Structure 1
Amino acid sequence: MPKSDFPPGVKVGGQIQRIGPDGEPRYYFVTKIKGPTVLLDGNHPLCGKALRFAVKVVDVRAATA
């Protein structure tokens, strides 16, 4: 997106809120600023990362139909 569309002081690593096409707010991270262009990433911060969950089974029940 053009850098002119952003508030002064936009920095790499910053978070920007924009209204999406459905009218709901969306959050984007500034990944790169190259001249007059700002590159944004709209993925979730955990996207692409390996996750490991530790769980403890606290109850078991019989299956239902």
Structure 2
Amino acid sequence: MPDASADLGSTLGALVVAFVLVTLVSGTLLGFNWTQAVLLGGFAGAVAVASAWLTARRAGDD
């Protein structure tokens, strides 16, 4: 049985990194307004969490 705290930490880390990175890049470099940038960051965070969950599931760590 895998360590649940490690899985949660990895998932939260992926969420935070994806959200912050996508929000900052879209808000500053791509010229989106900040509301759009936050929405894009949230979507990217959700995709990162789904990807982490699917990867763990395929590896048999569920």
TM-score tier after normalising by the smaller chain length: under 0.3
Higher strand share: 1
TM-score norm. by structure 1 comes to 0.24
Higher helix share: 2
Larger relative contact order (Cα-Cα within 8 Å, sequence gap ≥ 6):
2
